[in-house]
Amino acid sequence: MTQRIPVAVTVNGTTHRREVEPRLLLSDFIRHELGLTGTHVGCEHGVCGACTIRLDGAAVRSCLIFAVQADGHAISTVEGLAPERGRLSVLQQAFQDAHGLQCGYCTPGILMTVSAFLEDNPQPSEAEVRHALSGNLCRCTGYQHIVDAVLLAAQRLREAG
């Protein structure tokens, strides 16, 4: 008999209640139970970073956490970044302006990593940005424009106070 566990998970401010099998990965829960498909899955072994979300504020791999473990926790995903529909956040806008994405598959994970990173380090050096990005693989861009986008976002966020 398959165990089913009730969970209540708050995602981008909305609490979702579901009953799930313990083995359901949080990445699959977010994507396929909640329909928030902005979070992507690239390796399911914690290396590529595409599935990075924020769990109680911390950037983590959603493919290495079971959905049952998120019960009672707050998650944010790429869908929660923009201030409103039709507008981009400062970080998202910087990625468009600096051409910080190509296929866009790794992008949501990178945005979630960087959103946490810039809260910790609002004035990063290029080297620090590269370190922060080292857990997110991108196969398209060669990273240069991503680094530029992060530095641009940091500058704009500082200017906006």
Partner 1 sequence: MKPAPFEWHAPASVAEALELKARHGDDARFLAGGQSLVPAMNFRVAQPAVLVDLNRVAGLDAIAHGADGSLAIGAMTRNARIERDAAAAHSHPILAEALHEVAHPQIRNRGTLGGNLSHADPASEMPAVMLALQASFLLRSRRGERAVEAARFFLGPLATALAPDEMLAEIRIPPLPARTGTAFLEVARRRGDYAMMGVAAVVTLDAGGVCTAARLACCSAGPTPMGAPRAAATLVGTRLTENDMTAAAALLREEVDPMGSVQASPAYQRHLAGVVATRALRLARGRAA
Partner 2 sequence: METRHVGRPVTRNEDPRLLTGRALFVDDVELPGLLHAAFLRSPHGHADILGIDTAAAKARPGVVAVITAEDLGEYWQPGPLLVPPPPIPGMTFRQRCQVPLARGVVRHLGEPVAMVVAESRYVAEDAVGDIVVDYAPKPVVGGLEGAVAPGAPRVHDDLPDNIAAEVVQRKGDYAAARARAAHVVRRRFLYDRGASIPMETRGIVASWDAKADRLTVWDTTQAPVVIRNGLAAMLGLSERQVRVVAPFIGGGFGPKMMMFYPEEVLVPWIALRLERPVKWIEDRLEHFVATTHERSQIHEAEIALDADGRILGVRDDFLMDTGAYNPYGLTVPLNSQCTLLNCYDVPAYESRFRAIYTNRTLVTPYRGAGRQHGIFVMERLLDAAAREIGLDRVEIRRRNLIPPGAFPYRNEVIYQDFAPLTYDSGNYGPILDKALKAIGAEGFAQEKAAARAEGRHLGLGVVCYVEGTGIGPYEGAKVRVQSSGKVTLATGIGTQGQGHFTAFAQVVAEQLGVDVRDVEVTTGDTDQFDWGVGTFASRGAVVAGAASHEAAKAVRAKILKAAAEHFECAEADLEIADGKVAIAGVPEKHVTLGTLARMANPLRGAVKPGTEPGLEATSYFGPEMGATAAGVHAMVIEIDPDTLRLDILRYVVVHDCGTVLNPLILAGQIQGGVAQGIGNAFFEQLAWTEEGQLLNASLADYLIPTALDVPRMELLHTVTPSPLNPLGTKGAGEGGAIPVGALFAQAIEDALDLPARGIEITEIPLSPSRLWEIVHGGD
Among 13, 17, 35, 58, binds partner 1 (CB under 8 A): 58
**In degrees, to the nearest 5, what angle opens at C-alpha 117 toward C-alphas 9 and 23?**
35
| 10 φ, ψ (degrees, to nearest 5) | -95, 120
18-21 CB contacts, 8 Å cutoff, 24+ apart: 18/67, 20/67, 20/68
**Rounded to the nearest whole angstrom, what is the least distance from the CB of residue 38 to partner 2 in the complex?**
2
User: Which 102-141 residues touch partner 1, going by CB under 8 A?
Assistant: 113, 117, 131-132, 134-135
59 binds, among partner 2, partner 1, none (CB under 5 to 8 A by kind): partner 1
Report d(CA 97, CA 40) in Å as an integer: 22
**47 belongs to the binding site for partner 2 (CB under 8 A):** yes
**CA separation, residue 156 to residues 100, 116, 131 (Å):** 16, 16, 21
**44 belongs to the binding site for partner 2 (CB under 8 A):** yes
Q: For partner 1, how many residues bind (rule: CB under 8 A)?
A: 30
37 binds, among partner 2, partner 1, none (CB under 5 to 8 A by kind): partner 2
**Rounded to the nearest whole angstrom, what is the least distance from the CB of residue 134 to partner 2 in the complex?**
5
| Binding positions for partner 2, rule: CB under 8 A | 21, 23-24, 31-32, 35-45, 47-48, 50, 77-79, 81-82, 88, 92, 95-97, 99, 101-108, 111, 126, 129-131, 133-147
